[in-house]
Structure 1
């Protein structure tokens, strides 16, 4: 091999190394600008390339180099909406790849008291806003087809953890919740509801009261039975949580904390007030835990008609079969509240 050929080979190899180095830095070397290990970005539905670039540019060191890769891999012509994970140290090749991989949201909810509050919480985790979510769940056709109304459609939500893509539509989110609701109501649960002469919505409505009455899961079957006893005898439920719900609804303030129900509160005119109305309220007053729902479906065996918060076992209640015994229990609790200075 003569010197000229060797020289040309050497030059070619050097050029290859230079090109490889350039390609590496353009394609694979870090091009992120993060002060933490990772960040999620959300690109709204129907976003174009310029809109997407504006969203991701704060997290990219050299936007020009990214644009070159985006063009080579035709990302600029095919922007995807959704939630994407950018990790520290990603190169341009990896950045384009990650912007094509929609990452699901693990969405969990519980302890919500009405549809509006739940939709507000959910909307902070997925793309549809509160208005769109409420509209989907209160759509007249949807309600009619599934035998719900605006007062009881809140029953559809079973507390759990669910996986959704961030850019799921309000209607698809709603339909998924309906599917989960139907799965929850197994043949066994439906049989138990029928034995109580109750519909699933009625069971959840009563369970929401049981849920609010006690946080103790082991006490819920006993509380549930008290209310079932009252319903069987045609008595008003006289559930303080329904009065509290009525007050919050009247004031349109579900953030207020009401620790004590006063006598005048018992007279509030509201379809949710079970002191002045016989039977169940129009719909749930909260999103009951599964333990509360199953407590109604599998209640304790007792003949109690009354119960009152216990001052000896905090979080639990004292139960009574007679009004006389209940008055003694209630007097103890009232005295204790006064000693604590609890006025509201």
Structure 2
């Protein structure tokens, strides 16, 4: 995700030093009764199965252009880490994280819990050379998914370059046409959306669409004559202006649902984790929500496990090239009768409030 966000400040509120320590934070598994199994609302685009049997007009050309480069699909388990906030303990303070978007508007994410676990994760990312620092925080007390891009440690907490939040029952996407900053990813979606989580792999099922990246030069530029966005995306950082084989940001990709496990294994998906991921891509598909360099290819995003994802998830990485012939782009889900301009929907999606000061 690359966005033009500018000056940023941290408004620190009173700490909770007098509060009793309860369960504290964890950067571990998300299998906890206080965290909903279904992330975001049932009618969120993340949670709607694919029902269409048709391909988009650009599907064949897009897959062919990608395959011509010899790119595989990578398993990116160094992506947005899920840092679970259970309560407000003794090591916690609260802050409004304020930033300015590319249009010069000031925004703030209110009452963000600043924990030692979060600061540890931010510090770790910088030590590992991860300058994007894509971060998802599950804020259980406030029932919010917080989403930060380029967090940095400061003497009093953290700053962010941009970000947002979504309620547990929100859509998890910034609203199309509302001139709002991205909630994290280039497409406008929350970083928590579409992650493959450790608890899901332990359970053996993934009941939502996946978050994927695609090569930047195979994603349409904002002024592309072919149309830059596909619902539910509201932003893009694509750069392709000329090729009909480039995909719009928000494009939805699907693995051939007619393939049974035996067929998937013949294609090279021989590990149990491969089949779990494959089943999710067959039923829910995945959204192109971010970009990679032209040489990197596409990626599927996982809950980050501090560089131990390969051991924890155990999927084949990268997936065999034979899989590419079984992928297609499909139409987006309908907006489910939602009024995308309603103030009520704006509130539930949890876009950062505009700072009027």
TM-score normalized with structure 1 length: 0.21
**Which structure carries more helix by proportion?**
1
Using structure 2 for the length normalisation, give the TM-score: 0.21
Structure of higher RCO (CA pairs closer than 8 Å, 6+ residues apart): 2
